[in-house]
Amino acid sequence: MVNEAYTAYIWHKRIVVMAMAAIAIIAAVLSLTVGSASLSIPDVVSALLGRAETRVETIVWNVRMPRIAAAIAVGAALSLSGCMMQCTLQNPLASSSTLGVSQGASFGAALAIILLGSGTLDASEPYIVTLVAFICGMATTIAILMLSRLRSSTPSAIVLSGVAISSLFSGATTLIQYFADDEMVSSIVYWTFGNLGRATWNEIAIISTLAVFALVFFIANRWNYNAIGSGSNTAKSLGVNVELLVPATLALSALITSSSVAFTGCINFIGLIAPHAARRFVGNDYRFLIPASALTGSVLLLITDIACRTVIAPIVLPVGALTSFMGAPLFLYLILKERGRR
């Protein structure tokens, strides 16, 4: 009976994950039909098979497909980052946006644009922005990790520290814009808005490669994360090298967040919303929560992008603004929920 119950439990989780993958595919196909030029599903299928008109194929392959690929890759990356930060810091409020990692990466991008002249149209080495964004995102991660190791630190204190760090980097980003020319200011404003439409195939490939590498690492350590979920002392007693795994996990989380921010701008709260949504369906078992979080992040960002292109069409709203509208109420709800447990 025990084996049958466990088998049913495993299959239930697998079916949920497969259902999420199917929803992601449906959302991607639906996104291909949405835009200033309305396309039907048969039009999209014909374009994907190379049998449609040149105009339709151009819209599908050159305009909408890169945007959808960016939404899938960035949504998965940000959600994975948030899921692993919540696990390693044992804080349900943790994510790249609430802890200031995204804002730190945005500041790094702004710094590279102004001081190094990268990220503009005439820049010879545009990818230097990614490196500087990663360094600043990592610096923020190290600061959060040091704060989490203080004995007096509580989950609320760590989040408040992240809010303070976010405010610091946001203020610094605003300040350095004063010394920039019009082109640099417009490039910096792009990072703060969040825009899936600007990422090229090469940039999407970089984000996707890093996200897949991180996903493989996280899944390979899924049992270790289950142990950490029961507490650091419990994990150590089970043989988990917490001192090595936690920094490595946070470093990978910072890497995939920083690369996403560097290429698509600051898209807030996906890393907070998606893991909690995934937990509603698969629980806290990281064997299933890790892939479910990645898929949920992709679905949420795809749906948000569809809304951005349809709310006041043909004007396309910045995706970062809508994710902030979604994330802020959830953030307040989680704070009140944590306060109610005390």
Q: In this predicted model, what pLDDT tens digit does every residue of 43-79 receive, in sequence order?
A: 888 888 888 788 888 888 888 999 999 999 999 999 9
The total number of residues shown for the chain amounts to: 342
The pLDDT value recorded for residue 335 is: 64
* Mean pLDDT of all residues in 241-264: 86
Domain 2-341 in CATH 1.20.1440.230? The answer is no
Q: In this predicted model, what pLDDT tens digit does every residue of 128-162 receive, in sequence order?
A: 777 888 788 888 888 877 776 776 666 667 777 88
Nearest-angstrom CA–CA distance, 270 and 303 = 12
Q: In this predicted model, what pLDDT tens digit does every residue of 274-327 receive, in sequence order?
A: 999 999 899 899 999 999 999 999 999 999 999 888 888 778 888 888 887 777
What confidence tier does 214 reach under pLDDT thresholds 50, 70, 90?
very high
- Neighbour count for residue 11 (Cβ, 10 Å): 10
pTM of the model: 0.89
What is the 8-class DSSP label of residue 60?
A: I
* Mean pLDDT of all residues in 188-204: 82
- Neighbour count for residue 175 (Cβ, 10 Å): 10
Taking alpha carbons only, the member of 308, 246, 332 closest to residue 34 is: 308
Domain segments of the chain as ranges = 2-341
